[in-house]
Amino acid sequence: MNMNRSTLHLPQGMYDTLWEHLLGVDSEAEEAAFVFADHVLDNGQVRFDGREHFLVPPKGFASRSPFHFELTDDVRASVIKRAHDLQVSLVELHSHNGSFPARFSPSDLYGFQEFVPHVRWRLKKRPYGAIVVAGSGFDGFVWSDEELTPKRLDAIIVGEETTLTATGLSSLTWRYDDRYDEAE
């Protein structure tokens, strides 16, 4: 097998449920969800295949606003445990409201510093994905090796026919100490 890009494959029904949760609610706050995914790793590229999903309920947030959210310890532990029990990778998704194109915010990038290494350690170095969705599309990252710098998640494949392409607007060269500066 020779993959030349990283992708997330979702059944149509799972995609519809996730996007309705993330973008279809009348909330000004960010929404979040997780996909438990089988994965194939080839030369640093990942193919995630969505197996199950979890929609974060309002009580699953310790705090949230239109610009930031923090999950409760119980939700973080629960999704990590479920991924561990299924022996799968974890892909996080969250929404950005407004008319801006999909791009990870500085607070998103800062949040990866602690969460991603912890999850990957707990899940025995399985690849990890992060996706931000907006009305106009999505952008995504994949961590699949030992480095802290992610690679792009290039596309989401819905069902057998629909391919959504990432905006590619989020910088891959940000540093963890740039927490309050706009990503380069």
Per-residue pLDDT of the chain (184 residues; tens, 9 = 90+): 557 899 999 999 999 999 999 998 777 889 999 999 999 988 889 999 999 999 999 999 999 988 889 999 999 999 999 999 999 999 999 999 878 899 999 889 988 988 999 999 999 999 999 999 998 899 999 999 877 789 999 999 999 889 999 999 998 765 545 444 444 3
Residue closest to 30 by CA, chosen among 59, 67, 61? 67
Any idea what the Cα angle at residue 39 is, between residues 172 and 52, rounded to 5°? 105
59: which DSSP letter? G
The two structure tokens encoding residue 92: 């996080």
Q: 26 forms bridges with which residues in the sheet?
A: none
pTM: 0.91
Q: Which domains, from first to last, does the chain contain?
A: 7-165 (3.40.140.10)
CB 93 within 8 Å of CB 71 = no
